[in-house]
Chains A and B, each alone.
Chain A
Amino acid sequence: MTPRFIALIAALWAAGAFAQSPVIRQGEMCDPCVPPSVAKSMPVGRTPTQGAALRAEVEQRLRAPFDAAARDGLLTREQALAAGLGHIATNFDAIDREGRGAIRFEDYKRFLKERGAALD
């Protein structure tokens, strides 16, 4: 297959005009390095999590945006939408199994687990 293509160059929200300019390269690439100030605070004694400890961290990643958008632990579809939590808003009726109009994190977690999420 020889694909035909068009090259689109765009700057979203901005347009430019134009003459060639130099390329700037500040230093030498060092990825994944950190500056000395960060290196000093590296968590050297940490053992990377796995199993239940990792699943707890995964749950915390899911819980944080939920809690930030909820009031007293309860989240409505409108609150989910306003917070950009499209996954919850789209699936709200399936998560809100009892039709209360507001869900708790445990409702969302149960929904995810029923769909195959590796959570405890």
Chain B
Amino acid sequence: MPEASFFYVAYTLDGAAPATRPVTFFYNGGPGSATVWLHLGSFGPRRIATGAPDHSGPTPFPLVDNAETLLDVSDLVFVDAPGSGLSQAIAPNTNSSFWGVDVDAAVFRDFVMRYVDVNNRGSSPKYLYGESYGGPRSGILASLLESAGVHLAGVVLQSPAMDYTSNCDGIENQRSCLAYLPSYSAAGAWHGLATPSPAPAQIPDYMQQMRAYATTTYAPAIAIFLTNSLAPEALLGPLQGYTGMQASLWRQRFNMGPTFFRNNLRGGVQYGRYDARVTGPPGPTGNDPASYLISPSFDTRIAEYLTNELQYTTPSSYVSLSDAIMFWDFRHGSLPVPDTIPDLGAALAMNPRLKVLLMSGYHDIATPFFNSERDVARLASPNVTVKNYIGGHMTYLTDDSRARQKADLAAWYGSTP
């Protein structure tokens, strides 16, 4: 019984042996987002040159050949979730029939199994590459596929939100924001507001220091603050130095969430959520220059690309972003929001050779890298590799980071745990 019509664009290498040629399934998150970001921004054969983090070039940003395509390593399948892109439910289902943590992962499982079957890829090394909400989707999907007997070779978690119970955004009065601090520090350094403000090349080493400060000094202070609401004066000066945020504002918001940070780091400027290196004029709370400066170009280019380059036309509208998030059933396991680390653990239990690669951006204050590191560290698994890059949520939009990420991906695909 057909469930849904999945829209995907697959790039496959002619003449490759399916038994050894990997195939990778890419999807963005949201939930409700089409896979336009990964498809036209990351490792496909064509990419949109956004000039991140500057974004000051003429728009729509140009679509160019991608020197860092992953097609030399793996076949690439970019697939949209039901209700996004051109994917749609089949009656009697509606798109919203698949708008929940568990039903979404299950229908993605069915898609992957159908794709593998139709295209005779049963013996190919199979990889998942999910971004943001695509991370938790991957945790569950990996478990469902392994349970169904479809072994995966690896899972790439790009800026994932693996555990919705570990992120403090929006509930700063009750949950620690300790894992945001290194990202605030990277942002302050990028803009020359922090003391010190190391150059990008020094950020990886500097972040080691900031992880330690966040864990051993800031975190215990937050734990006390959440009980007595008193900001410890001794820490306000160091926090100003590390981030560039005024000490008086640290006193006001000692357990500082990302929205306050990007609206108050400096007056008259709004810093990006998906990439705090990007700036824009002050706007409504939640308005993200790292998003609104690039979204229109992705919308324009995907429509042109499908129609003119791939010669695919349809009377249906391409949905870059639906309102699925408003109707999504976030429940999973025994929790009202998903913690998918146990699911990834179940996938590893069924397949001890499964590789996991976490990739994050130092300047992402939507899914901060240190938070994601702490999430996957719970697994205490030698199969997990962690890589961080200069850049935001979509690390691949930054040219130098995309090249580094491609090299790391190629090495990882060739590795065995």
Within 8 A of A (CB), among B273-293: 273-274, 286-288, 291-292
How distant is B376 from chain A, measured CB to nearest CB, in Å?
A: 11
- Taken together as a complex, chains A and B put the C-alpha atoms of A10 and B85 apart, in Å, by 13
Q: Which residue of A19, A24, A62, A65 is within 8 Å of B319 (Cβ)?
A: A24
CB distance from B93 to the nearest CB of A (A): 12
User: Which of the candidate stretches B195-203, B242-250, B263-271, B323-331 sits at the interface with the other chain?
Assistant: B323-331
Give the residue name and chain of the B residue nearest to A66 (CB).
B147
Contacts of B378 in A (CB 8 A): 48-50, 54
What's the Cα separation between A30 and B323 when bound, in Å? 11
Asked if A35 and B326 sit within 8 Å, CB to CB, the answer is yes
B339 in contact (CB, < 8 A): yes
In the complex, residue of chain A having the shortest beta-carbon distance to the beta carbon of B147? A87
Pair A89/B149 contact, Cβ less than 8 Å: yes
Are B303 and A23 touching (Cβ within 8 A)?
yes
Question: A88 vs B390: C-alpha distance in the bound complex, in angstroms?
Answer: 43
Q: Say yes or no: B170 contacts A25, CB within 8 Å.
A: no
Distance (whole angstroms) from the CB of B96 to the closest CB of chain A: 14
Cβ B148 vs Cβ A118 within 8 A? no
In angstroms, Cα B71 to Cα A96, docked, is 42
Q: Which stretch (B7-15, B48-56, B213-221) binds chain A?
A: B7-15
Interface of A, helix, strand, loop or mixed by DSSP: loop
Q: For the complex, give the distance between the alpha carbons of A46 and B8 in Å.
A: 38
Query: Per-residue 0/1 for A28-40: is the Cβ within 8 Å of any B Cβ (1 yes, 0 no)?
Result: 1111111100110
Q: For A21, what are the chain B residues with a Cβ–Cβ distance below 8 Å? A: 314-318
Asked if A23 and B320 make an inter-chain contact with CB atoms under 8 angstroms apart, the answer reads yes
Asked whether B325 lies within 8 Å of A33 as measured between CB atoms, the reply is yes
Across-interface contacts of A27 in B (CB, < 8 A): 321, 323
- Are B5 and A14 in contact (CB-based, < 8 A)? yes
Number of A interface residues, CB 8 Å? 66
Are A41's CB and B299's CB within 8 A? Answer: no
Q: Closest 6 A-B residue pairs measured CB to CB?
A: A86-B149, A32-B161, A18-B313, A14-B5, A117-B349, A57-B342
From A31, A48, A65, A118, contact of B147 by CB (8 A): A65
Structural contact, B286 and A28, CB atoms closer than 8 A: yes
Q: Kindly state the separation between the CA atoms of A44 and B342 in the bound complex, as whole angstroms.
A: 18
Most central of B69, B291, B342, B379 by chain A CB within 10 Å? B342
Q: In whole Å, how far is B286's beta carbon from the nearest beta carbon of chain A?
A: 7
For the complex, give the distance between the alpha carbons of A79 and B85 in Å. 37
Given contacts A12-B111, A28-B288, contact A7 B310 (CB under 8 A): yes
Closest to A118 in B: B349
Please name all residues of chain A whose beta carbon is closer than 8 Å to the beta carbon of B224 when the two chains form the complex.
none
Give CA–CA (A20, B304) in the complex, Å: 9
- A9 touching B9 in the complex, CB below 8 Å, given contacts A21-B314, A31-B366, A119-B349: yes
**B325, A85: Cβ atoms closer than 8 Å:** no
Q: Which residue of A lies closest to B299 (CB)?
A: A23
CA distance A111 to B248 in the complex (A): 58
Answer yes or no: A82 CB below 8 A from chain B CBs.
no
Q: Are B8 and A112 in contact (CB under 8 A)?
A: no
Q: Is the CB of A86 within 8 A of B352?
A: no
When C-beta atoms are compared, the residue in chain A nearest to B296 turns out to be A25
| List of B residues within 8 angstroms of A43 by Cβ | 165, 335-337
In whole Å, how far is B177's beta carbon from the nearest beta carbon of chain A?
A: 13
Question: How many whole Å from B100's CB to the nearest CB in chain A?
Answer: 12
Contact B337 A18 (CB under 8 A): no
Could you list 6 examples of A-B contacts with CB < 8 Å? Answer: A18-B312, A34-B330, A42-B171, A45-B174, A86-B150, A88-B147
Across the interface, name the chain B residue whose C-beta is closest to A41: B336
- Give chain A residues whose Cβ lies under 8 Å from the Cβ of B313: 17-20
CB-CB < 8 A to A42: which residues of B? Answer: 164-165, 171, 175, 336-337
**B:153-171 near A, CB below 8 Å:** 161, 163-167, 169-171
- Measured between beta carbons, the chain A residues less than 8 angstroms from B328 are 35, 38
